[in-house]
Amino acid sequence: MDKFLINGPCKIKGKVLISGSKNASLPILAATLLFDEPVVIKNLPIVRDINTMINLLKSLGSKIILSKDKKTVKIINQKKMKTFASYSLVKTMRGSILVLGALVAKYNKSKTSLPGGCLIGARPINYHLAALKKLGMKYEIKDGYILARSKGKLKGTIIKFPKISVGATENSIIAACISKGKTILKNCAIEPEIKDLTNFLNSAGAKIKWLGRTCKIEGVDKLNQTVYSVMPDRIEAGTFCVASTLSNGNLEIRNINSKIIQTELSLLKKAGAKIKIEKDKIFIKGPHKIKSIKNIKTKEWPGVATDMQSQFMVLMCKAKGKSVITENIFENRFLHVGELQRLGANIQIKKNKAIIEGNTKFVAAELMSSDLRASVALVLAAIVSNGKSEINRIYHLDRGYEKIENKLKKIGVKIKRLRG
């Protein structure tokens, strides 16, 4: 199993190019199952989760033509596609559940494994299933599989989600766009990645309109050939912004629209970062002394992203004074705390709150990744630690960050991947 060796502390300086968004690419790739015509998707990130989704599409019968740099894919579906999404592919990634809505909407049946992914909480799929049921899907769960079918086309309806859910919103949009009649989805998640999905579908002739948290979908018979470029990864951009702030760095972050990480940038300004915005660039300088932020709360977009919580925790460890982080999205999202304590952090957990005593002097240690975002927090902490840290189980990182060690090396981080 691969691991990272990081020799800290490092001074971060230079330019970083942000890759395409993993969280936008996954639903867009799942939605390609709705097409009879070829589809071209550009600006894909080269990460493990995208490979998993492409392999899943292949297993369902899609012909996949990848460009030389693997960032562009042409997808051609067969006339008769398979509708079985196997456990061996779905177990490694929750995003795989997004093929369910597409398969039932297009082929009126599916056998899809219950999903896997990071160990950050229950993340049940009951909202997905309840919404698809309202559209006309009948299902039972047997031997770890969702056996689903519908009598002919799904039919438009009004669905109000009991709780804001990114995945359930995506699955419902995908299913509804080729359903019969009009669907109105209320209390939707409105993350930029969801807007990217609907922009993609509209580029192919779907009729989707937004009004606040309400999504109106007029079903169409079929989707047309399209070429679409995926948005940049806001979590990757946010992570590099924290890295610069944390290490008294000086970074130019390219290929990012600052509006999609406005909430996180305003927090970094509070912490003392100097930020300048240009068209698709962010210039960010870290302060000599990081200021503590009394209360950071994760929340659905446009609040602080839960995927940025662990990075902000590392930042607050180095801040002057005490701060509190409240995790409102996932119940198991403090798995990185034990590892940060091994580096010297003073953090107490009380239910969904982390109380952080600042002024930590991180000292290198051997560490273990538990999930995708937790592992990037350990990388950030190792960058500002004294000595050589070893980070194990970095396959979590490879799921969501494209060639992160190459990007870090270019900006001054002493990092080495040891192949295991």
Overall average pLDDT of the 393-408 stretch? 94
Mean pLDDT across the chain: 95
**C-alpha span between 153 and 167 (Å, rounded):** 22
pLDDT tens digits along 53-63? 999 999 999 99
Q: Do the Cβ atoms of 47 and 26 come closer than 8 Å? A: no
Q: Any idea where the domains of the chain sit in the sequence?
A: 3-19+232-418, 22-229
| Of 22, 411, 38, 11, residue with least CA distance to 224 | 38
CA of 206: how far to CAs of 31, 168, 186, 227, 419, in Å? 12, 19, 19, 14, 45
pLDDT at 159: 98
Count of other CB atoms within 10 angstroms of residue 174: 30
Read out DSSP for 122-169? ---SHHHHHHHHHTT-EEEEETTEEEEE-SSS-B--EEE-SS--HHHH
- Statement: residue 122 has pLDDT above 50: no
pLDDT tens digits along 193-222? 999 999 999 999 999 999 999 999 999 999
Overall average pLDDT of the 122-149 stretch? 90
Q: Which of 10, 118, 177, 317 is catalytic?
A: 118
Beta bridge pairs of residue 20: 232
Q: Is position 188 annotated as part of the catalytic site?
A: no
Instruction: State the architecture of 22-229 in CATH terms.
Output: Alpha-beta prism (3.65)
pLDDT at 117: 46
- Statement: residue 89 has pLDDT above 90: no
| Of 84, 83, 90, 128, residue with least CA distance to 107 | 83
pTM above 0.75, yes or no: yes
Beta bridge pairs of residue 368: 392
- Statement: residue 120 has pLDDT above 60: no
Overall average pLDDT of the 308-322 stretch? 97
pLDDT tens digits along 337-354? 999 999 999 999 999 999
- Statement: residue 118 has pLDDT above 50: no
Residue 417 — φ and ψ, nearest 5°? Answer: -95, 125
pLDDT at 116: 58
Compute the radius of gyration of the chain from its Cα atoms.
22
Q: Which of 326-340, 371-385, 388-402 has the lowest mean pLDDT?
A: 326-340
- In the chain, DSSP finds a helix count (H) and a strand count (E) of 14, 24
Question: At the top level of CATH, which class does the domain 3-19+232-418 belong to?
Answer: alpha beta
Q: Can 3-19+232-418 and 22-229 be said to share one CATH topology?
A: yes
- Statement: residue 331 has pLDDT above 80: no
